[in-house]
Amino acid sequence: MLGHSTLFAGATDGFMIRNDEHWLSIVDSFTSAALGEQSWNTPLESLADATGSQGGQLVGVDSSTSIAFNILTNVDPAISVWISETVAINPRVKVANEAPILKVVADADFISPAAYRRDPFYQEYARPWDVPYIGMTTVERKKGRLVILGAVRSHRNGPITSAQRHVLASLAPHVRAAVRANLALEGQSVAVLLAASESLSIPLFLCDRTGKVRDLTQAAVALVTGERGLQLKDGRLYADQAADAKALSEAIDAAVIGHVKPGPPILRTVIIRGRQPDVPPLVLDVFTLPARGGKLDPLGFTPHAMVVARGPRGDEARRAAMLEAAYGLSAAESHIALQLAEGKTLQAIAINRGVAVGTVRAQVKAIFAKIGVNRQIELVARVSLL
């Protein structure tokens, strides 16, 4: 299957791929992570073990040379902070941006021992934090996005060996496929959300992790080109009134941060006053864009926060569409979720739908799983965000 007997070695060789089945289990683990069935940490830890490394890493860098995501296993979490702060001087990022896709490289391939001893990244960060070596490969480079797979190595691990590189190289194409599948699924979710909002003429802005607007509906365009007190400048939303502008900025920042924290999405409501006294104020709901499948640490450069101009109260079609787009509910499930949020009992819902109570109970269980809640009161809180 693998065609390379050198993949199989004992722990005394500094790594371990026991057989084809073991190798396939690591590949399958990356596929499961891509589909949202488990955390990316699990396959990255397996990759680290297979290459005799301290940890596994999957990091995304965007076109502004800032970190879009960074999943790093079995190292001090504080390392993630300085990794974000040192992108501009990190030789590894520069090399990954220029190297051929799937080519495995190590520090010794692009920096001499003398330059290594002088380089501020290695001497001030990598060595003191015990991540002085890496084996890495670029698994995606497209439209300003760069995704790097790494086997992070400590002083004790030493530089990656040729046999360990071979293991990393054998897994890299499958990691690339998993990453691309995950990014495609995330992009598809955003497209569905935008399409649903467009069809219902919902003014919707999707903001990235920096607070910049990545996508918006035509109804949203109308809001920032009129006299409603809301503007779009350099990709960011601004309000004409200073107090409104401050509240809007803080709400978007909170929603973006909420994307990487456990718990229900953060919601803030902001009032935007128009330029003229006779123009009615805008009511904006700003909240965290739910991660697909309720999972944290998703990959990608997709939006993190939603800004929605509130429409007429009780618009059931609008709320149902948002539930279906944001959480992947079916039409029947969204209808049941809305009825539960209104306080209706399972018996009443079953009678209304002409089905058995057991059927409704099974659907409720599926709804809870998709939305990521355990109790009806939590469901009500989620639905209220829409």
Instruction: Write the DSSP assignment of 271-337 as a string of letters.
Output: EE--SSTTSPPEEEEEEEPPPGGG-SS--SS---EEEEE--STT-HHHHHHHHHHHH---HHHHHHH
H/E element holding 217?
none
For domain 315-386, the question of CATH label 1.20.1540.10 is answered with: no
Tell me how far CA of residue 180 lies from CA of 34, 35, 95, 99, 137, in angstroms: 8, 11, 21, 18, 15
What pLDDT is recorded for position 293? 46
Domains 5-184 and 200-311 share a fold: yes
**Torsion-angle region of residue 80: left (phi > 0), alpha (psi -120 to 50) or beta?**
alpha
CATH architecture of the domain 5-184 equals 2-Layer Sandwich (3.30)
Question: Which segments of the chain have a pLDDT < 50?
Answer: 1-6, 10-13, 293-297, 313-314
What pLDDT is recorded for position 9? 52
If you search the block for the tokens 């990656």, which residue do you land on?
A: 160
What pLDDT is recorded for position 1? 40
* Model confidence, pTM: 0.65
What would the two tokens of residue 68 be? 């879009």
What pLDDT is recorded for position 126? 95
Task: Report domain extents, the chain.
Answer: 5-184, 200-311, 315-386
- Residue 231 to residue 213: CA distance in whole angstroms: 12
Judged on CB neighbours under 10 Å (0-12, 13-18, 19+), 61 is buried
Torsion, CA 96, CA 100, CA 103, CA 108, rounded to 10: -50
CATH architecture of the domain 200-311 equals 2-Layer Sandwich (3.30)
Phi, then psi, of 344 in degrees rounded to 5: -75, 145
